[in-house]
Amino acid sequence: MVIDVVLVDDHALIRGGLRRALERHEGVSIVGEAASLREARAVLNKTRPDVAVVDIRLPDGSGLDLCREIKESRWAGAVVILSMYGDADRLLAARDCGASAFVSKDAPAREVIESIRRAFANPGAFDAEGLADAVAAETSRRAILTGREREVLMLLADGMSVADIARQLVITESTTKTHIGNIYAKLDAHNRAQALMTAIRLGLIKDESPLDRPPS
């Protein structure tokens, strides 16, 4: 059985290298290519491949969003996410969007090919080098917030300012800022939006929390 594959990457050299590597192997057929989300949607709707190999960073959006669209489509093909960066957050984000595999761009071609074959055979599974370590780190981070820090986090998600949080919890603004700083450090975040996005992914708060609501 031949596996129909679409390549989505904005770098022509990378697409060309992948295409040449994949075409050397029997059982894999490249049925389309795209360099952006817009192009990818058109190509995918036309070809409906078995597997889409998608770069996580595209000029007009995220490959993770495209992955979600594919998984929600009628044909629901498998997705292999490619990334220049192999950190745990990107790996777990690929898992959470429904991808079947996450592969670093500097991985050998045979690893990409094996990921395509496994994705085709079992699209509901998720395969990635370093997955166990990433899951362990995620579990550890989920448990590291203290009870008070979780309270502060929930109030941050409600859009409260430092002053509002301090009044709500009957603590000083200085103490509130210390709790917020600790939350940012533990969630590896640099601002409120990053902290809340990580907290959502870790299940610390629900995804309907108003990330972009300005502080009151």
pLDDT by residue for the chain (216 residues), tens only, comes to: 899 999 999 999 999 999 999 988 889 999 999 999 999 999 999 999 999 999 999 999 999 999 999 998 888 899 999 988 777 778 888 888 899 999 988 888 889 999 999 999 999 889 888 666 666 666 666 657 888 998 999 999 999 999 999 999 999 999 999 999 999 988 888 899 989 988 887 778 876 433 334 343
Which of 63, 85, 194 lies closest to 130 in space, CA to CA? 85
The helix/strand count (H/E) of the chain reads as: 10, 8
Q: Give the H or E element holding residue 153.
A: helix 147-157
Q: What is the pLDDT of residue 197?
A: 86
| 212 burial type by CB count under 10 A (0-12 exposed, 13-18 middle, 19+ buried) | exposed
In the chain, ranges of CATH 1.10.10.10 domains: 144-201
* Distance of alpha carbon 32 from alpha carbon 12, whole angstroms: 13
- In this prediction, residue 132 carries a pLDDT of 67
Comma-separated ranges of CATH 3.40.50.2300 domains in the chain: 3-130
Give the CATH number of domain 144-201: 1.10.10.10
Residues facing residue 51 across a β-bridge = 5, 78
| Paired tokens of 46 | 């036309």
E-strand ranges in 70-163 read: 78-83, 101-104, 127-128
Q: Looking at this protein, which amino acid is placed at residue 37?
A: L
Inter-residue contact 80 to 119 (CB < 8 Å): yes
- Amino acid of residue 167: R
Contact 105, 82 (CB under 8 A): yes
**Topology of the domain comprising 3-130:** Rossmann fold (3.40.50)
The two tokens of residue 56 are: 């996580």
